[in-house]
Amino acid sequence: MPNSARVPRARRSTKRSEAQRSGATHRVRGTRELLGRIRDQNLKSAAVDDLQAAVTNGMTVPDPLLPKSLAREAPMDLYTSGHRRGVAAAPHAAAAEAGRLILAEGGNAIEAMVAMAAVIAAVYPHMNHVGGDGFWLVRERSGKVRAVMAPGRAGANARRELYRDHEAIPARGPLAALTVPGAVSGWALALEAAKAQGGRLPLSTLLEPAIRHARDGYVVTRSQAALTAAKLAELKDVPGFAAAFLADGKAPEAGATLKQPAFAATLDQLAHAGLTDFYRGDVAREIAADLERVGSPVTRADLEKHKAYVAEPLTVAIGTGTLYNAPPPTQGIASLIILGLFDRLGVREAEGFDHVHGLVEATKRAFLLRDRLVTDPDRLPAPPERFLDPAWLDAEVTRIDRRKAAKWPAPYGEGDTVWMGAADHDGNVVSYIQSIYWEFGSAVVLPSTGVLMQNRGASFSLDPKALNALAPGRLPFHTLNPALAVLRDGRVMAYGTMGGDGQPQTQAAVFTRHVHFRQPLAEALDAPRWLLGRTWGSTHTNLRLESRFSAGVVDRLLSAGHDVEILDESYSDTMGHAGAVVLHQNGTLEAGHDPRADGGAAGV
């Protein structure tokens, strides 16, 4: 064979992670751990033999088979359907269960999401906290879709001169904690919408599950243990981190119990004083004092001025319906462009070369545009809607070669985040994303309040000519983007994922599988995924695939010129933690979440 015709070989990753290998394996592993704990504690139960049989057969284990002291740790279902009152999906079981409880109490989907947002901060702190930002898409029962935007601006003292001794803004420590935490303001604004939709539950009820988890303790997940160990050197000496998230100065083991007592007290104060106390009350005073003490550029005046706001979502029409996403400073436009371009490619079958190659090439086109456009909404170089116009998309799709990979790489974005969804019987559907940017954000934990501060401001550039140049009061670029679709067949689907640059790609994979190619939701979330570009600390900018893709697809991607790397994992955290909730035209509800995460779906 001539050299020019040789098919390159895919690189195979030699780096192993702690990621679970499949949804079934994840559940069996959790059950094995429980069985081991039963034996270690010399617990006597007639159900132990049944539990062993379930482990052997790869089954999930219902609570009745477990001793009551361990039943709460049984894995949650990843998928649920046929519900009439409401559903919730989250990357941690405790958050999904909190949403289910609120729905069972008669709360609506927006109220359920506030409870979930608080719980996920209490039990999944490596991925998010109230020191971060949040973005909502809310589809009301009237059919109106609104974006609730809660990003934090750079502090008044966040000037380039502060970083004169740095080539770039540090990723950890007080100088990385340079933007106002916006998430709680988003909760408050969302609750105003909840009341307009008939919401009636008191804030104390919504925050009670989170207060309990933070006060009484939460079980450290596999991912928190692994990420703490991997990043320990850069985290352990940051103010407040060791006291909050280490065990005797070491990374905690999976299954250990940690508490966040100061955070519990903060939530309790907010439950009684109201969420605005976080910005203009006693909690704000404590936050500002601790920020000043550690040397953050965020001031009390910055907290007082902060407000969430409602915006019109970006939309694009495709053959199957209308897609919605958040406007700048998020990368929501990239997610919409990818699906708008893919719709025009006319791909007929899932999982083959045309499906993967088409989405990867659409991603490249979308990211090139995104990196020239998205910044603080007050500084946009062009209206985002221009690039969602059918004529623009029709012209742009002609730039995609159906057989050959375009050159890459381009700049990238990292991120550790959570996406959660909820829907109710009245037709309210919520897509929500909450983040502190990198794992554990800046790693600064404020001692008086237990607030873990984000490092989103590290995405600013110290180059004054850059699109996202640092300046006091500016909003940073956000990879966060919650997605929602109103489909022609009457369904409403909220979906999303964590994962930085992987967010638009995983959204596209899940959406096209479930909507374009009619895969059941659980299968669409489980199916093998890919990632173009860097994330999670990788130095590679290539196209990484989970190991379950067929050899035929891999060979064709290589032949087309893609720089392919096959990950060792069949289910990798690198590919994000995705989920979705669906409201059907007949009023039934379904929800699913990712086997790569620690959560699931629940309904009433």
Of residues 407, 394, 370, 455, the one with CA closest to residue 174: 455
Give catalytic status of residue 417 as yes or no. Answer: yes
Residue 592 has phi, psi (to 5 degrees) of: -150, 155
How far is the C-alpha of 453 from the C-alpha of 170, rounded, in Å? Answer: 14
Which residue in this structure is represented by tokens 């482990």?
55
The one catalytic residue among 80, 320, 375, 417: 417
Which residue in this structure is represented by tokens 């959560």?
599
- Whether the CB-CB separation of 149 and 308 falls below 8 Å is answered with yes
Angle of helix 93-104 relative to helix 109-123, nearest 10 degrees, comes to 150
User: β-strands 564-566, 530-532: how paired?
Assistant: unpaired
How far is the C-alpha of 525 from the C-alpha of 594, rounded, in Å? Answer: 6
Task: Check residue 311 and report its DSSP letter.
Answer: E
What tokens appear for 83 in the block?
């519900």
Half-sphere exposure of 329 (CA within 13 A, CB side): 23
Task: Check residue 6 and report its DSSP letter.
Answer: P
Q: Which H helix or E strand runs over 297?
A: none
Half-sphere exposure of 383 (CA within 13 A, CB side): 9
User: β-strands 321-325, 257-258: how paired?
Assistant: unpaired
How far is the C-alpha of 518 from the C-alpha of 513, rounded, in Å? Answer: 6
Q: Which H helix or E strand runs over 162?
A: none
Could you tell me which residues come within 8 angstroms of residue 296 by beta carbon, excluding any fewer than 6 positions away? 155, 174, 175, 177, 178, 444, 453
Q: Rounded to an integer, what is the distance from CA 569 to the centroid of its chain? A: 20
Active site residues: 417
